[in-house]
Structure 1
Amino acid sequence: MITNTELEIKGNLFPGKIISFSQNVDKINFTTENGVILQVTILRGSVIRFRYATDNNFENDFSYAISETGVRGYSVLEVEDHNEEYVIITKKLKIHIAKANINVVIKDTADNVICKDDWGFHWEQSYEYGGNIVKMSKNAPQGECYYGLGDKPMHLNLKGKRIENWATDQYAFGKDQDPLYKSVPFYIGMHEERAYGIFFDNTFRTFFDFCHERRNVTSFWAQGGEMNYYFFYGPDMQGVVTRYTDLTGKPELPPLWALGYHQCKWSYYPESKVKEVANKFRELQIPCDAIYLDIDYMEGFRCFTWNKEYFPDPKRMVAELAEDGFKTIVIIDPGIKIDQEYGVFKEALDNDYFCKRADGPYMRGKVWPGECFFPDFTNPEVREWWAGLFKELIDEIGVKGVWNDMNEPAVMEVPGKTFPNDVRHDYDGNPCSHRKAHNIYGTQMARATYEGIKQFGYPKRPFVITRSAYSGAQRYTSSWTGDNIATWEHLWIANIQAQRMSMSGMSFTGSDIGGFAEQPTGELYARWIQLGVFHPFCRTHSSGDHGDQEPWTFGKEVIDVTRKFVELRYQLLPYLYTMFWDYVEQGIPMLKSLVLYDQEDIQTHYRTDEFIFGNQILVCPVQEPNSKGRRMYIPRGNWFNYWTREYVNGGGEQWVDADLDSIPMFIKEGAIIPKYPIQQYVGEKKIDQLTLEVYYKLGDKEVSKVYEDAEDGYDYSKGRYSLRTFTFTGKEQEIIIQQHKNGTFITDYETMEIELIGIPFVIKQIEIDNVTVVLKDVHFDPKKNTIVVPKGFTELHIEA
């Protein structure tokens, strides 16, 4: 145990013994003899903040990551003073603070150790920059596993890895390459099936070491700022993720069309090419809702301009695309070309909105337009100005969404590919260098973009996509995983990244389907589209350097596979929309790695390929060429093979057939899966009937939900939504389906077609709300086991 007042190991300084203690409602302060203060804040019974100061001095308490709408409050808070320690008691936790050195041990109410300090808090003075390099080390018991940390392209379980968070433009990145585009300093630890989370809210360059340097120690540190972290207790992993997502903020619902299929390339131009691609989708009957314009739509790559040679009348073009169901998305980068004749540049220059170097000159860097200056998005006045620039694009031309790229920020032809450390930022009134602002620059750009689209697109919901992000970015934007490569390894990476982003609070994420760099084979593209339709954000994107990458590039077989799976996504839109509703309301991740789904099954702790889409659909992509199937792990419980309707017992590995036109896909028994008719785009058809696929289960009840609203706009926030909760009860000779409805939204359809799958008896009688009905009156089809019932039923009995 470290007891020295200022013990020093290799230049590290440590806290001394506690000399005073004070409490102010939910904040408890411990001060040591050498000027270290530990402030413990109880946000909830299972969410605790630990904040450390040296020299008796805290920084101004400001964070871009923390949501103002997160849940606060607790029912129990006691502090006990013992001989050698203080003990803080909440309803869920006991927090032991050692008087000798403020080391922390966190236990549950049954006195199981959840997380304990090793060296605990220590620091090193930074003579180069001033301030401290702040460090924390935790004990890592044997068998503890680690997950999270955003877009890292490595094994889902991070045990043995060392991770760096520094938003970096990594074109054609590789497996295990680090750092990448995003900085999400949140991880989940799990030991003996008890999970906890730690969010290190520090925007400097941060590092995490999961037993890499020392076998039984996990540590994290930052090159400046404060040691400021939040602890979340589960004990279930999903509870950890939902509490973290609540703290850092949940998104609002996107428009339903944003969950459709999107097509993108660097670059679709001129207008005739855009129209050609759009027309081909409709001709081939492959559903598509959005088409993207990359940097070539601009005049000399100047943001908020149009190349009038390529796009002589953008408003007309956007309107014509909209008539055919296509929403136009345009790219906007942060670099503003240095050009006195360019209005956006002149306005920002006149108002002093650009980032500056330490000695006064503007930050100058080369990106696509050539020499550029860069807005300081950490300045609220600059964000408001930036938001105002979207008036023409959104309100006048009719663009429906914006894609923010290069916002790490990326700078070409310089060491480090980004701003130098000495660039200055406003940081919302907390002036700082780029060392502190770098990791949140992209998020603040996306925030300003979101605010502009929301202002000028109102009453429709905004759609933004960003490449760079910090914790909390999910409040404003979706994201994609950056410039990947058309290889089978990158198909594996895309699967991992989407799962990891979901468990890191950023569910609305996808990859560039088919790979951005290089050219996929038809087989690789087909397998990638099969995976991509099960990611919350679904977009094909490519660099175009190696040829085209539209579905028809690869021949009829791949066209047919693409159509089949994109159609499946459109059929599953009500299921996907309901997943998003759960994410928005409760912070529940939209994709669940098997360990997130069933952490008590030790077999799941190192699985990477399989995942749960929503709550009831199991998916496992085929990730090797020339495969007719694969071995996969079926989680515990019972499942139905979606394609064959075969009943499968889980809890083990098995071979699953999957020709090129199939992906291993299973439905949880008892699930009720909602489907819409196939549409070429959202809103093409009036939904005249909801289909419910009902998968039989004997015994315990199973609950399923269907969320619907007007598909855009904000009426849902005033109660104009429809949330149907179905409870399935299966007996040997009977099925009972109960429906409870919330919300005031009235759907267009009046009936539901129910398909009963796997039932072990022949249907002889049906009761709707205690009234026996004639089978022909519900259009009973004995071959398909389908019936049609009124949408408003409350209880349905189907009997032998």
Structure 2
Amino acid sequence: MITNTELEQKGNVFPNNIVSHQRDADTFTFTTANNVLLQVKVIRDSVLRFRYATEGNFEPDFSYAIDDQASTGYNHLEFEENTYAFVIKTAKLVCHIAKVNLKKTIYDVDGALICDEESGFHWEYDYESGGNIVKMSKIAQKAESYYGLGDKPMHFNLKGKRVQNWATDQYAFGKDQDPLYKSVPFYTALHDNISYGIFFDNTFRTYFDFCQERRNVTSFWAEGGEMNYYFIYGPNMEQVVTSYTDLTGKPELPPLWTLGYHQCKWSYYPESKVKEVTDKFRELKIPCDAIYLDIDYMEGFRCFTWNKEYFPDPKRMVDELKEDGFKTVVIIDPGIKIDKDYDIYQQAIENDYFCKRADGPLMRGKVWPGECNFPDFTNPEVREWWAGLYKELISDIGVKGVWNDMNEPAVMEVPTKTFPLDVRHDYDGHPCSHRKAHNVYGTQMARATYEGIKRFAYPKRPFVITRSAYSGAQRYTSSWTGDNVATWEHLWIANIQVQRMCLSGMSFTGTDIGGFAEQPTGELYARYIQLGVFHPFCRTHSSGDHGEQEPWSFSDEVTDIARNFIELRYELLPYLYTMFKEYVDEGVPMLKALVYYDQEDPQTHYRTDEFIFGHHFLVCPVLEPNAQGRRMYIPRGKWYNYWNDEIIDGGKEHWVVADLDKIPLFVKEGAIVPKYPVQQYVGEKEIEELTLEVYYKHGKEQSMVYEDAQDGYDYKKGRYSLRKFKLTGKSNELIIQQHKEGKFITSYENFKIKLHGLPFKVKTIEFDNEEIPFEKVKLNGDNTLLIDKNFTELHFIGE
């Protein structure tokens, strides 16, 4: 073990003994003899904030990550002093702060150790850059595991890894490559069935070491700023993730069409090519809701312009696409071409909206248009201007969504791939260098885009997608995992990344189906799309320089597979929408890694491939070529094979058959899964019937379905429909109880109920305690029946 003395000799400085303390309601401040301050703020009974200052003064308290609407308040708070420590107690936590050195030890109220510090807080002065490198080290508990940190393309359990957060354009990145596009300095830890989280809210380049350098030590540090972090207690991982998501914010509900299938390429142009692709979708009856225009739709890659040779009448084209059910999404990058005849450039110059170097000249860098200047999106005046620029695209032309790319920010032809570190930023009135602003630049661009689209799309809901993001970006935007590759390894990476993003508060995420770089085989594309339809954001995208990558680009067999899985996606839209509503309301991730789903089962702690989609589906991609199946872990409980209704006992590995036309897919017993009829796009058909797939369970299970007008804001006025179902199965009975909320009247009058796994033959059906004849409910030979949607209780009684 390295001693503090040895560390001090290496330039590290440590707090010494506490000489004074004070309390101000929920905030406690401790001062040491060497003028270190520790501020402890009780956010909630399970959430504590720790801030350190090394010279007796805190920096102005400001964060882009923390949501103004985050829950605060506690049920119980005590403060006491003993011989060795000061003790802060809430209804869930007991925090000891050592008098001799400020080290903290955190227990639950039953005395179980949650988190202990090794060297605790320490720092060294950075003479090259100025300011402190702030550090924190903690003792790793026995068998402790670590998860989260955004888009890291490595094993889901981060134990043994060292990673960093510095948003970076990494074209065709590889397994274990780090850093990538996003900076999410939040992880969840698990030991002894106790889960807690650490959110290190520091936008400088940050590092996390999970027992790599020293076997029993976990540490994190930053190249500047404050040691400022939130400790979030579970004890269940679900509680940690939902508390973090509440702290950094939840998105608003997107329009339903955004959960459909999207098609993209670099690039679809001219207009005739766009129409050719969209016509083919309708001809082949492959559902699709969105078509994307990459940078070639612009005039010389100038943002907010159109190439009139390729797209002579954008509004007419967008309107015609809309008539055919396609919503148009366009790309907007941050680089503004230096061109005195370019109106957007002139506006920014006249109003001093571009980023500057430390000694005065504008930040200049090469991107797609050539030499560019870059708006300072950390300036609220610039964000307001940028939002206003969307009026023509959204209000006048009718574009439905915007895709922000290259916003790490990416700069070409320089080794760092980004701005020089001396570039200055407003940072909402807290002027700083790019060292501090870099990781939030993309999020603030997406924020400005979101505010513009929301303004001009009203009364419809906005849709934004971003490549770069910092914690809290989920309030404004969806995201994708960047420039991946058409390889089997990248299929594995995509699965890990989206699970990890969901565990990091950013559920509305997907990957470029098929791979952006290089050419997939038909088999690889089929396996990619089988996974992609179970990601919250579902889009095929490719670089285009290697050939076509539409669902019909490979073979008739692959086309049929793609169609079947995209149709399944559209059938499951009410299930997906319900998942999203729970994410919006409660912060529950839409995809759940197995360790999140069942942390008490140690077999889940190192699983990477399997995940839970919503609450009731178990999905596991096939990740190898020429495979006719795979081994996978089935979590504890009983699960129905979706394809043949075979019931499997979980808690162990199974060989699962999955030829090219199948993905291992299971449904939890007791689930009631809502389905729509297949549509070619959202809104094509009025929903005349909602199918409820009912999977028998001997016991109880709850399910729900949320519906509203699919766009707009009437749902906030109570015009929504939330149906909660409680299933109770007995050896000779099945009872389904329904509780309804909301004022929205669905277009359908009946449920089509399909029963799976019923262990008895139905003799009697009771509708709200009244027996009804079989012919009235149309009980069919395939265990389906039609029933009025407004039942309170359905009772199936066996012979």
The question of a shared fold, defined as TM-score above 0.5 by the shorter chain, is answered with yes
Residue 499 of structure 1 aligns with an amino acid whose one-letter code is Q
From 758, 783, 786, the equivalent of 1:785 is: 783
Taking the aligned partners of 2:252 and 2:469, their CA distance within structure 1 comes to: 17
Give how far 1:110 is off.
1.1
- 1:12 aligns to what SS in structure 2? coil
Taking the aligned partners of 1:203 and 1:329, their CA distance within structure 2 comes to: 30
Runs ≥4 residues deviating over 4 A: 1-7
- Counterpart position of 2:324: 324
- What pairs up with 1:553-702 in 2 under 5 angstroms? 553-699=553-699, 701-702=700-701
Residue 669 of structure 1 aligns with an amino acid whose one-letter code is E
Q: What is the RMSD computed on CA atoms of the aligned residues?
A: 1.1
Change (3 A) 1:669 1:7: closer
Contact kept in structure 2, 1:95 and 1:107, CA below 8 Å: yes
State the Cα deviation string for residues 114-142 of structure 1 (Å, max 9, x = none). 01110000000111222110000000022
Contact kept in structure 2, 1:5 and 1:15, CA below 8 Å: no
- What pairs up with 1:37-186 in 2 under 5 angstroms? 37-186=37-186
Contact kept in structure 2, 1:287 and 1:679, CA below 8 Å: yes
Residue 772 of structure 1 aligns with an amino acid whose one-letter code is E
- Counterpart position of 1:721: 720
- Counterpart position of 2:24: 24
Residue 414 of structure 1 aligns with an amino acid whose one-letter code is V
- Counterpart position of 1:795: 793
- Counterpart position of 1:428: 428
Taking the aligned partners of 1:432 and 1:751, their CA distance within structure 2 comes to: 60
State the Cα deviation string for residues 766-788 of structure 1 (Å, max 9, x = none). 0111111011100111x211111
Corresponding position: 1:733 with 2:732:
yes
Give how far 1:494 is off.
0.2
Which segments of 5 or more consecutive residues in structure 2 lack a partner in the other structure?
Answer: none
**Greater Cα offset, 614-623 or 1-10:** 1-10
Contact kept in structure 2, 1:729 and 1:737, CA below 8 Å: yes
- 2:283 aligns to what SS in structure 1? helix
State the Cα deviation string for residues 472-529 of structure 1 (Å, max 9, x = none). 0000000000000000000000000000000000000000000000000000000000
Contact kept in structure 1, 2:185 and 2:201, CA below 8 Å: yes
Contact kept in structure 1, 2:394 and 2:457, CA below 8 Å: yes
- 1:189 aligns to what SS in structure 2? strand
- Counterpart position of 1:228: 228
- Counterpart position of 1:347: 347
State the Cα deviation string for residues 197-223 of structure 1 (Å, max 9, x = none). 000000000000000001000000000
Taking the aligned partners of 2:41 and 2:6, their CA distance within structure 1 comes to: 25
Contact kept in structure 2, 1:28 and 1:39, CA below 8 Å: yes
Change (3 A) 1:164 1:731: same
Give how far 1:9 is off.
3.8
Contact kept in structure 2, 1:6 and 1:34, CA below 8 Å: no
Residue 769 of structure 1 aligns with an amino acid whose one-letter code is D
State the Cα deviation string for residues 354-400 of structure 1 (Å, max 9, x = none). 00000000000000000000000000000000000000000000000
Residue 37 of structure 1 aligns with an amino acid whose one-letter code is L
- TM-score normalized by the length of structure 1: 0.99
Taking the aligned partners of 1:382 and 1:467, their CA distance within structure 2 comes to: 20
Taking the aligned partners of 1:553 and 1:251, their CA distance within structure 2 comes to: 35
Residue 737 of structure 1 aligns with an amino acid whose one-letter code is I
Give how far 1:764 is off.
1.0
State the Cα deviation string for residues 531-556 of structure 1 (Å, max 9, x = none). 00000000000001111101111010
Residue 680 of structure 2 aligns with an amino acid whose one-letter code is Q
State the Cα deviation string for residues 21-41 of structure 1 (Å, max 9, x = none). 111011011110111010000
- Counterpart position of 2:755: 756
Contact kept in structure 2, 1:5 and 1:14, CA below 8 Å: no
- 2:615 aligns to what SS in structure 1? coil
- Counterpart position of 1:775: 774
**Greater Cα offset, 373-382 or 130-139:** 130-139
- 2:141 aligns to what SS in structure 1? coil
Contact kept in structure 2, 1:6 and 1:15, CA below 8 Å: no
Corresponding position: 1:334 with 2:317:
no
- Counterpart position of 1:253: 253
Change (3 A) 1:100 1:767: same
Taking the aligned partners of 1:151 and 1:734, their CA distance within structure 2 comes to: 46
Give how far 1:58 is off.
0.2
Contact kept in structure 2, 1:591 and 1:614, CA below 8 Å: yes
- 2:553 aligns to what SS in structure 1? helix
Contact kept in structure 1, 2:145 and 2:158, CA below 8 Å: yes
Give how far 1:193 is off.
1.3
- Counterpart position of 1:405: 405
Corresponding position: 1:447 with 2:447:
yes
- Counterpart position of 1:368: 368
Taking the aligned partners of 1:712 and 1:357, their CA distance within structure 2 comes to: 43
Corresponding position: 1:531 with 2:569:
no
Give how far 1:44 is off.
0.4
Taking the aligned partners of 1:157 and 1:37, their CA distance within structure 2 comes to: 34
Contact kept in structure 2, 1:18 and 1:102, CA below 8 Å: yes
State the Cα deviation string for residues 79-104 of structure 1 (Å, max 9, x = none). 11001101100000000000000000
- Counterpart position of 2:300: 300
Residue 711 of structure 2 aligns with an amino acid whose one-letter code is D
Give how far 1:415 is off.
1.6
State the Cα deviation string for residues 51-91 of structure 1 (Å, max 9, x = none). 00111010000000000111100010101100110110000
State the Cα deviation string for residues 432-459 of structure 1 (Å, max 9, x = none). 0000000000000000000000000001
Taking the aligned partners of 1:551 and 1:735, their CA distance within structure 2 comes to: 42
Contact kept in structure 2, 1:3 and 1:16, CA below 8 Å: no
- Counterpart position of 1:540: 540
Taking the aligned partners of 2:792 and 2:10, their CA distance within structure 1 comes to: 69
Taking the aligned partners of 1:719 and 1:620, their CA distance within structure 2 comes to: 37
Taking the aligned partners of 1:3 and 1:734, their CA distance within structure 2 comes to: 67
Give how far 1:719 is off.
1.1
- 2:693 aligns to what SS in structure 1? strand
Change (3 A) 1:539 1:4: closer
Taking the aligned partners of 1:32 and 1:589, their CA distance within structure 2 comes to: 41
Residue 794 of structure 1 aligns with an amino acid whose one-letter code is T
State the Cα deviation string for residues 709-767 of structure 1 (Å, max 9, x = none). 00000111111111100000001111000000111111000100111100000011101
Corresponding position: 1:192 with 2:187:
no
Taking the aligned partners of 1:288 and 1:786, their CA distance within structure 2 comes to: 29
Residue 579 of structure 1 aligns with an amino acid whose one-letter code is M
Contact kept in structure 2, 1:5 and 1:17, CA below 8 Å: no
- 1:501 aligns to what SS in structure 2? helix
Percent of counterpart pairs with the same letter?
75
Contact kept in structure 2, 1:5 and 1:34, CA below 8 Å: no
Which segments of 5 or more consecutive residues in structure 1 lack a partner in the other structure?
Answer: none
State the Cα deviation string for residues 596-654 of structure 1 (Å, max 9, x = none). 00000000000000000000000000000000111100000001000010111101001
Residue 758 of structure 1 aligns with an amino acid whose one-letter code is G
Residue 84 of structure 1 aligns with an amino acid whose one-letter code is Y
Residue 735 of structure 2 aligns with an amino acid whose one-letter code is I
Taking the aligned partners of 2:550 and 2:75, their CA distance within structure 1 comes to: 56
Corresponding position: 1:202 with 2:197:
no
Taking the aligned partners of 1:433 and 1:792, their CA distance within structure 2 comes to: 60
Residue 694 of structure 1 aligns with an amino acid whose one-letter code is V
Taking the aligned partners of 1:215 and 1:785, their CA distance within structure 2 comes to: 57
State the aligned residue count: 798
Contact kept in structure 1, 2:4 and 2:119, CA below 8 Å: no
Give how far 1:5 is off.
11
State the Cα deviation string for residues 145-191 of structure 1 (Å, max 9, x = none). 00000000000000000001000000000000000000000001100
Taking the aligned partners of 1:50 and 1:269, their CA distance within structure 2 comes to: 52
Contact kept in structure 2, 1:597 and 1:612, CA below 8 Å: yes
